[in-house]
């Protein structure tokens, strides 16, 4: 790690964050609708939801149920979970752009799901210690028995951006670096498959080696970044983003590389990690560094970068849109959900607040979004006054931002 570059990247990010004065932070960009509620807020928690566009205009949402009380839920639960009782994914559908929702009978025994469309099917990747995937061939109504993509434990992720380009699906799931590590001891693994293949067949996937961020995080200490714990990497919940602008220094005309933007669990709320995922000449996958200004990029300015965020690219505005938590003067802030945009993944402009929880422990965070026409549709891991903590929420909320491009200034 080049200490000079590391310091300059961080300082540029902090200055940009401090000098940006949002003029529309006094109003919310969207209303909200509660689309599902925990049957027992004290012991069953609704963790990160995923949203995807199905076929024929349908919206599909997957919700991760966890907590010590999940043993009381009907249906199978994951072998490995947030608590010993295991986790369970449930699926909600809407055919009227989120005005009404219905829950399907699906009870999927896994956690930390990523939901996406590929070929003529919907897919959901998750884990139960080992890496799993399930497929729906009827637009989200029913799901196959989870197939094992990798039998080795222990995996981790959240619902982050997937790249579908040139007939290929590329995403990141994360693997525990070693059982001895403290949280968050994971590193990214790049995965890729043909879009039209049977993605429940592990032979159709390519995997990179695990990228171990231990050395990167340790190298940050002389620059003043307080890594969570000695020896514990702090990079997780990685988005896979394609760089579209040829003027961007990270652009790849061959189409064989993507940007990997991840949460950086450090003492700075607006710092994230950027890595490069790429295909070697022999077709194998790898993760490395981007080079910029004769140095290597690692830490970059990302608003809310120390919590899970979600990014999508809008071809019409040619901007990246970032759904993130907003700093409010405290660490581990989860109450305020915000939207920002960028032309290049480096310079971010605040667009406004999407939602604010009614109390400190009533979060609006770990959200995921899709674009449909001129609108953004968002699902958030949320809580009301009955939520056990800001982390352990009891509701999932749905938000619609109409004419989102009008927020550009």
For the beta carbon of residue 120, count every other beta carbon within 10 angstroms.
Answer: 10
176: nearest Cα among 186, 166, 162, 163: 186
With CA atoms as reference, report the closest residue to 189 among 163, 171, 202: 171
Q: What is the pLDDT of residue 332?
A: 57
Q: Is the pLDDT of residue 224 over 60?
A: yes
Whole-model pTM: value is 0.92
Sign of CA dihedral 237, 112, 267, 339: positive
Q: Give the containing element (helix H, strand E) for 124.
A: strand 121-128
140: pLDDT strictly greater than 80: yes
Q: 231 pLDDT band (50/70/90 cuts)?
A: very low
Q: Is the pLDDT of residue 8 over 80?
A: no
Bigger pLDDT: 329 vs 219: 219
CA 356/CA 44 separation, integer angstroms: 22
- Bridge partners (DSSP) of residue 321 are 312, 341
Q: Are 134 and 146 in contact (CB under 8 A)?
A: yes
Report pLDDT for 329. Answer: 64
**Percentage of residues in the chain having pLDDT higher than 70:** 89
Answer positive or negative: Cα dihedral of 34, 36, 40, 46: negative
- 271 and 306 Cβ atoms separated by less than 8 Å: yes
- Look at residue 106 in the predicted model and tell me its pLDDT: 98
pLDDT for position 184: 72
CB 102 within 8 A of CB 93: yes
Strands 375-382 and 364-372: antiparallel
Please state the rounded mean pLDDT for residues 302-325. Answer: 96
pLDDT for the residue 2: 43
| pLDDT tens per residue across span 51-106 | 999 999 999 999 999 999 999 999 999 999 999 999 999 999 999 999 999 999 99
pLDDT digits (tens, 9 = 90+) for 163-210: 999 999 999 999 998 766 667 788 999 999 999 999 999 999 999 999
In 3D space, the residue among 375, 335, 379 whose CA is nearest the CA of residue 356 turns out to be 335
Average pLDDT over residues 325-336: 78
| pLDDT (tens digit per residue) in 108-130 | 999 999 999 999 999 999 999 99
- N- to C-terminal Cα distance for the chain? 36
State pLDDT tens for residues 244-303: 999 999 999 999 999 999 999 887 888 899 999 999 999 999 999 998 777 788 899 999
The Cβ of residue 307 has, within 10 Å, a number of other Cβ atoms equal to: 21
As a whole number, mean pLDDT of residues 131-158 equals 97
Given a cut of 60, whether residue 308 has pLDDT beyond it is yes
233 has a pLDDT exceeding 60: no
The answer, yes or no, to whether residue 1 has pLDDT greater than 50, is no
d(CA 325, CA 305): 8
Structure tokens that stand for 384 in this block: 């009301």
Over residues 130-139, the pLDDT tens digits come to: 999 999 999 9
For residue 22, the model assigns a pLDDT of 42
How do residues 16-64 score in pLDDT, each as one tens digit? 333 333 444 468 999 999 999 999 999 999 999 999 999 999 999 999 9
Q: How far apart are CA 363 and CA 372, in angstroms?
A: 25
Q: CA 76 to CA 111: how far, in whole Å?
A: 12
**pLDDT above 60: residue 395:** yes
- C-alpha–C-alpha distance, residues 188 and 155, integer Å: 10
Q: What's phi and psi for 72, nearest 5 deg?
A: -85, -10
Q: Given pLDDT bands bounded at 50, 70 and 90, which one contains residue 7?
A: very low
Q: What would the pLDDT profile of 343-386 be if each residue is shown by its tens digit?
A: 999 999 999 999 999 998 899 999 999 999 999 999 999 999 99
Confidence label for 216 from pLDDT (cuts 50, 70 and 90): confident
Dist. CA 188–CA 176, nearest whole Å? 9
């Amino acid at each position: 790690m080049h200490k000079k570059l590391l310091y300059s990247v961080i300082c540029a990010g902090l200055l940009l964050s401090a000098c940006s004065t949002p003029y529309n932070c006094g109003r919310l960009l969207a209303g909200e609708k509660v689309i599902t509620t925990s049957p027992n807020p004290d012991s069953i928690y609704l963790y990160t939801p995923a949203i995807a566009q199905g076929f024929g205009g349908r919206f599909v949402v997957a919700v991760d149920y966890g907590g010590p009380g999940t043993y009381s839920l009907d249906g199978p639960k994951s072998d490995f979970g947030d608590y010993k009782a295991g986790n369970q994914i449930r699926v909600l559908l809407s055919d009227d752009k989120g005005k009404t929702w219905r829950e399907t009978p699906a009870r999927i025994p896994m956690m930390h799901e990523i939901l996406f469309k590929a070929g003529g099917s919907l897919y959901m990747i998750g884990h139960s210690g080992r890496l799993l995937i399930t497929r729906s061939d009827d637009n989200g109504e029913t799901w196959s028995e989870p197939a094992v993509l990798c039998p080795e434990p222990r995996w981790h992720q959240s619902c982050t951006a997937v790249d579908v380009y040139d007939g290929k699906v590329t995403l990141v799931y994360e693997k525990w670096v070693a059982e001895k590590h403290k949280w968050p001891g994971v590193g990214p693994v790049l995965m890729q498959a043909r879009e039209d293949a049977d993605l429940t067949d592990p032979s159709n996937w390519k995997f990179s080696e695990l990228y171990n961020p231990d050395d990167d995080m340790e190298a940050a200490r002389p620059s003043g970044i307080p890594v969570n714990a000695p020896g514990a990497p702090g990079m997780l919940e990685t988005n896979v983003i394609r760089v579209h602008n040829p003027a961007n220094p990270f652009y790849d005309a061959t189409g064989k590389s993507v940007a990997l933007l991840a949460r950086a669990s450090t003492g700075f709320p607006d710092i994230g990690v950027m890595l490069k995922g790429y295909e070697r000449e022999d077709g194998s996958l790898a993760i490395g560094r981007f080079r910029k200004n004769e140095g290597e990029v690692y830490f970059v300015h990302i608003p809310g970068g120390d919590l899970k965020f979600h990014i999508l690219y809008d071809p019409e505005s040619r901007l990246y849109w970032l759904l993130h938590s907003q700093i409010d003067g405290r660490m581990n802030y989860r109450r305020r959900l915000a939207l920002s945009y960028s032309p290049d993944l480096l310079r971010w402009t605040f667009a406004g607040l999407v939602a604010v929880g009614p109390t400190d422990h009533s979060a609006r965070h770990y959200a995921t979004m899709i674009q449909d026409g001129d609108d953004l549709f968002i699902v958030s891991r949320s809580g009301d006054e009955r939520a056990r903590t800001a982390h352990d929420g009891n509701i999932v909320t749905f938000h619609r931002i109409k004419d989102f491009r009008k927020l550009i200034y």
